Amino acid sequence: MKTCLRTLLSFILLCGITFSTYAQHSFKLNTGPVMVKYQDSLLKLSNDVYAAPHTGERFAKNALFIKTLVNSLKTNASFDFPFDSLKRVSIVKSPDNAFRIISWFIPLEDGSYRFFGTIQMSTKDGQLKLYPLIDNTDNIADANVIGNSRNWYGARYYEIVPVTNPGRQPYYVLMGWKGNSGKTTKKVLDVLSFEKDGPLFGKPVFEGLKGSTPKNRVVFEYNKLNSMTLTLDKSINMIVFDHLAPFSEDMVGNFEYYASDLSFDAYKVANGKLKLIENVELKNDPNNMDELYVDPKDKKTKAIKKL
């Protein structure tokens, strides 16, 4: 049933965007009040999604949310409307103002998450240009695979870092919260680039220690009750993150027992690549964003707290 619902929602999103990708309104009126009305409707629908007690109902409400969102983005100058009342939806613009990513998730009854999103491009003539993002995580056996907008390793993105790539097309590093299950949380460092056929996710730019094979993306997994810093530190111009380690040596590979060991590593941009730097000295406070997603009523969560 989950697969059927996901397919239905993908179809709704794709159809809505197919018919509206190059639609342009003829009127040039002040669209502020129009967008505010759309935002009010989207806020109500978003609340309805999370108030629904069962997964099927959440998907049904989310289908209405998607339809309303696509209609709102057809409005002239929608690219500059922030939708800042939609707290459950992340809307992040690239620093060069070339595009923005709208992403969100639905919590499922089994403790996992389904992600949704779209890339809205900035266009000079005001035409709407969108790329729908279809979460295909369940069918991605290797998290290191390069995918496109229809084979997306879903996440709720919160930061975008542009990278100049000498002699080649520039790309963007995306930082996102991925959730995972009732026991662990994931965060992801992904790469977005634009080719003739549209957006691509993943690129072999993450270089580890000497002799290791570069990764297309980096996925962090750790105990759900813990938080993890993953952000751009502008003071040192590096992407910094907590070093995750198991509670003890016999728990290696069991990410339910991983957490920060209070040290930090980082990726530094050099010659179009991101080079791993270990044991970076920082004075940052932990990012407590993950705590927003812990359900204290969840029996599984209570069990983890006792460990």
pLDDT tens-digit map of 183-207: 999 999 999 999 988 999 999 999 9
What own/partner pairs with CB < 8 Å and gap ≥ 24 does 169-177 have? Answer: 169/193, 169/194, 171/203, 171/205, 172/94, 173/239, 173/274, 174/101, 175/230, 175/231, 175/232, 175/239, 176/103, 177/289, 177/290, 177/293
- What token pair was written down for 73? 């983005």
pLDDT of residue 146 exceeding 60, the answer is: yes
pLDDT of residue 76: 85
pLDDT average, residue stretch 221-236: 96
Q: What is the mean pLDDT of the chain?
A: 86
- What token pair was written down for 277? 């730097």
pLDDT of residue 165 exceeding 90, the answer is: no
Angle at 139 between CA 246 and CA 91, to 5 degrees: 75
pLDDT tens-digit map of 285-297: 545 445 444 443 4
pLDDT tens-digit map of 69-126: 999 999 988 999 999 999 999 999 999 999 999 999 999 999 999 999 999 999 887 7
pLDDT of residue 17 exceeding 50, the answer is: no
| Segments making up each domain of the chain, as ranges | 1-139, 155-307
pLDDT of residue 38: 97
Q: How far is 186 from 81, CA to CA, in rounded Å?
A: 30
pLDDT of residue 28 exceeding 90, the answer is: no
pLDDT of residue 169: 86
